Structure 1
Amino acid sequence: MRYLLNTAGLQEVAAAVAQQPLLAFDFDGTLAPIVPVPDNAYAPMSVSTAMQRLCAIAPVAIVTGRSIDDVSARLAFEPKYIIGNHGAEGMAEVDTDALDQVMRQWLAQFEAGSITLPEGVTLERKRFSLSLHYRLARDRDAAQAAVLQLAQTLQPLPDLIGGKCVLNLLPPGAPNKFSAIQSLLLREGRSAAVFVGDDETDEIAFRQAPPGWLTVRVEHADHSAARFYLGHQSEMAHLIQIIEEQWRAAFGPR
């Protein structure tokens, strides 16, 4: 990984913008800082203002693990696309009936009382996925082990994606962020994308991204497959402003 906001990195941003790419962003930890209680997450005003300007001239997608209804209420700007549930919600190509059936089966198992959440763990129910949050657990390592064990009791077995004090449970074979961005590129008639994320759900897209994509992880991680990184979430507003300025310089106002 290389740092993005230096001379060499900004040259890569300019080269990416020159391809008129789809601009895709995660929400939590990317546009919005990570907070102890997920319901309290919002993008800072500086990010929202920069995104509003960018959305006016370029194709922007928010690709998040949250549901579309949830994240939409947290945005003070209007992107062209909002994709929720890690890529499963908001895509016309997805078999939503099959996903709904799996969700009903899982929720029935929780509601039957046979599954007990460990202390400090909360269950977030979304349309096509579940999230087990353990940020508030006293012993996070023990809570992480407990939620992994709990997930293995569900039928059908979920696809698991870890995160920052969260375990995401997706229906087996559900779309992911990479497949969602690919579908949007086909819809847009574009070949290149910029994707900025911060967590393990985003690493799926980082690993599978073709060479023409500019992939950026918020905060350095040795294991990351992203090509570049930002030092901190607070640098997001600056990056968005740079992309917007370069887009206007290259293509003018739309």
Structure 2
Amino acid sequence: MQPLFSETGLKRVEEVARAGLLCAFDFDGTLVPIMSRPEEVRLSDDVRGKLLRLSAHAPVAIITGRALEDIRGLLGFTPDYVVGNHGMEGVPGWEARAAVHAQQCAGWKAQLTGLLARTPGAEGIEIEDKRYSLSVHYRAAPDWQRAAVFLDEVCAALDPQPRLVAGKCILSLVGVDAWHKGNALEALMELSGARTAVYAGDDVTDEDVFRIKRAELLSVRVEHRPDSAADFFIPRAEDTERLLDELIARLAACDARNWLRKETALHQ
């Protein structure tokens, strides 16, 4: 994983930033910083403005772990694609799989609620019901490491066993056959007819995208992590703004060249 804002990284941006690009982003930790109260997060005016300018040149997708009904109220604009629940909501055809995931989550929630109520050491642990997945938050727990180990043990007793995805003081529970962000991105590339794509994310759930090795996909991780499968990294969530600037500048230049070629051909 190399720095994106290096000669090699910016050359790669230049290669993908052309007609037919799909621009996809995670939300929390990528477009906005991680907050102790996720419900209070909003896009800054600067980031929203740059996403709107970007969308004038290329389709924009938000692929997030939040539920669709949650994320849509936080954006302040309408992207071309919005995918929630780590890839389970928003991609065409997702409704056909939704009932099974909802039933599984209802069962896990009932089991977890009972287990947490009966077990000492569950202080500060909260269950967020996203209908098709569950997120168990432990940022408020007195001892984060102990809470993480405790949750692994508790979730091992669930029936049926979920796929567990560990994040930053959060444990997501999804169906073992549920779509993930990688499935969602590839589906959106096909749906949009994208010839290239860029994806930026910051968490373990984004590794499902980073592990896709396609020449036409540029993957960017927020914060360096030695074991990440991402191609490049940017140091902080705030640096996503520079990524947006780089994409806008190159796509605008590409559009201008294409317009000039058309005008030249028209008057020959």
Pairwise TM-score range, normalised by the shorter structure: over 0.9
Matched, 1:145 2:120: no
Aligned partner of 1:4 in structure 2 is: 4
* Higher helix content, 1 or 2: 2
Alignment of 1:146-165 (within 5 A): 146-165=150-169
Alpha-carbon deviation of 1:238?
1.5
In the superposition, the TM-score normalised over structure 2's length comes to: 0.89
1:90-137 CA distances to partner (integer Å, 9 max, x unpaired)? 1223311221221222233345x3443711111111021101111121
Aligned partner of 1:35 in structure 2 is: 35
Show structure 1 runs of 4+ deviating over 6 A.
Answer: none
Contact 2:20 2:193 in 1 (8 A): no
Q: CA separation of 1:191/1:151 partners in 2, compared to 1, >3 Å: closer, same or farther?
A: farther
Counterpart-to-counterpart distance in 1, 2:152 and 2:116? 13
CA radius of gyration, larger in = 2
Aligned partner of 2:262 in structure 1 is: none
Instruction: Report SS of the residue matched to 2:104.
Output: helix
Alpha-carbon deviation of 1:149?
1.4
Contact 2:102 2:133 in 1 (8 A): no
Counterpart-to-counterpart distance in 1, 2:151 and 2:99? 27
Unaligned runs of 5+ in 2: 260-268
Counterpart-to-counterpart distance in 1, 2:195 and 2:9? 21
Which amino acid in the other structure matches residue 155 of structure 1?
D
Identity of aligned residues (%): 38
Contact 2:32 2:41 in 1 (8 A): yes
Contact 1:106 1:154 in 2 (8 A): yes
Matched, 1:108 2:110: yes
Two-structure CA RMSD over aligned residues (Å): 1.8
Task: Give the number of aligned pairs.
Answer: 253
Aligned partner of 1:186 in structure 2 is: 190
Compare 171-180 and 53-62 and name the one that shifted more.
53-62
In the superposition, the TM-score normalised over structure 1's length comes to: 0.94
Which amino acid in the other structure matches residue 103 of structure 1?
C
Which amino acid in the other structure matches residue 106 of structure 1?
W
Contact 2:19 2:251 in 1 (8 A): no
